[in-house]
Structure 1
Amino acid sequence: MSYAIISVGGKQYRVREGERLLVDRLALDDGSSFTPAVLLAGGSGDPQIAPADVVVTATVLSQEKGPKIRIGKYKKRTGYKRHTGFRSSLTRIQIESIGGAGKAERAKPKQKATPEPAAAPAEAPSGLPEGYEGLTVAQIKEAASSWDADAVAAALDYEQAHGKRKGAMAALEAATAEEES
C-alpha cells in the first residue's frame, strides 16, 4: 500500500510511510507506538475501504504547542476592550509502516536499541496446551472450549503470570465457568 487514510482524534489524515504530521494531543509518551484506525488503503490497484488486513503503525515523536492565536473584542465608544489568546496542544507523529505487522518489525531496528539483560527463558507450567505461547486471543477463544479443565487452569495461570492479556483471560474464565455448569 502506498497510502492510507487513518482516523486519529476524530479527524482523518491521508498518510504515507515515513511521513510526519501534527495531530491533536494524544495521551501517549514520546517514543511510544500505536496503531490508528484505518479507513481506506490504496495505491496498489483498487482502494480498499476499511481493510481488516492493513495495519498502520505510528510513533509519537513529541508533544508540542501550536501557534498562538490572538483574540480581541472591541466595542466602539464604550471603552470595552478584551484580549485573550489560545495555543492548541498538539502531538507530532511519524508513520512507520503501512501494511502488515512484518513491515513494522523491520522499521523498529532504525531506532537505537538499548541492550537488555538476558532473562532466563520462562518455563511453561505443566499442563499448558502445546504451542500456547504463540496463540492469539482469537485463537485462544476458539480453542479454549475443547481443552480439559487442567489445560484451561494452566493457561489462566500462565496469562496471569506472563501475558496479562485481558481478552485471553476473559475467554479462559468463560471456558472455566462453562465447564463448571
Structure 2
Amino acid sequence: MFAIVRTGGKQYRVAAGDKIAVEKIAGNAGDSISLGDVLLAGEGSELKAAKDLTVSAEIIAQAKSEKVIVFKKRRRHNYRRRNGHRQQMTILKITAIGNEKPKAAAKKAEEPKVEAAKPAAEKKPAAAKKPAAKKTDA
C-alpha cells in the first residue's frame, strides 16, 4: 500500500519501510510520529479513501542537507558576496500506513545476517621457515 503525504510544504509518495528526508520536524532519534495530512492512498492501481488515514513514521536522525552556495555579484562595481546555507532536515522511516503492519520481508532485510563461525581446525598453521645459513668469507 502507498500513500501521498504532505509535510513541510512538499508532497511525498511513501510505502511501509521507505526512508524519506523531510523538512525539520521536532523530535529526537527513535521517536514515533504520525503524519496526518494524507492526500491519496492506494494499492497497485486501485485508489482508496484517504479520509481519516494516518501514516506512522519513526525519526531516524536529525541532519542537515547539502550546502547551497548563495553568490551575489554586480558587474563592474567590485561587489561580490558569497554565503552558504545548509537546511535542517529530518530523516524518517515509514512504519505503517493506516492500520497496515510492515511486511515481514522488510523486517528481514533490516536484520543483519549472522554467519556461522568457521571452526579453527580448518585453518592450516603457517609452515615454519628454516633459518638462513650464515655466509662465511673464505
TM-score by shorter chain over 0.5: yes
TM-score of the pair, normalised by structure 1: 0.52
- Name 1:76's counterpart in structure 2: 75
More RCO (CA 8 Å, sep 6+): 2
How far 1:74 sits from its partner (Å)? 1.4
Matched-pair contact (CA < 8 Å) for 1:41–1:51:
no
Give 5+ residue unaligned stretches, structure 2: 112-138
- Call closer, same or farther: CA 1:71–1:96 in 2, change over 3 Å: same
Alignment counterpart, residue 103 of structure 1, candidates 101, 104, 115? 101
1:63 partnered with 2:62 = yes
How far 1:33 sits from its partner (Å)? 0.6
Mapped partners of 1:66, 1:14: distance in 2: 20
How far 1:95 sits from its partner (Å)? 0.3
How far 1:50 sits from its partner (Å)? 2.6
Mapped partners of 1:26, 1:67: distance in 2: 18
How far 1:44 sits from its partner (Å)? 5.4
| Aligned partner letter, 1:12 | Q
SS in 2 for 1:78: coil
Mapped partners of 1:97, 1:12: distance in 2: 17
Query: Which segments of structure 1 move beyond 4 Å, counting only runs of 4 or more?
Result: none
How far 1:45 sits from its partner (Å)? 6.1
Give 5+ residue unaligned stretches, structure 1: 112-181
TM-score of the pair, normalised by structure 2: 0.66
Q: Name the structure with the higher strand share.
A: 2
Mapped partners of 2:8, 2:67: distance in 1: 21
- Name 2:85's counterpart in structure 1: 86
- Name 1:6's counterpart in structure 2: 5
RMSD of aligned C-alpha atoms? 2.5
Identity %: 35
Which entry has the higher C-alpha Rg, 1 or 2? 2
Q: Name the structure with the higher helix share.
A: 1
- Call closer, same or farther: CA 1:45–1:74 in 2, change over 3 Å: closer
How far 1:48 sits from its partner (Å)? 2.3
Moved more, 76-85 or 88-97: 76-85
How far 1:29 sits from its partner (Å)? 1.4
- Call closer, same or farther: CA 1:44–1:51 in 2, change over 3 Å: farther
SS in 2 for 1:66: strand
Mapped partners of 2:79, 2:54: distance in 1: 54
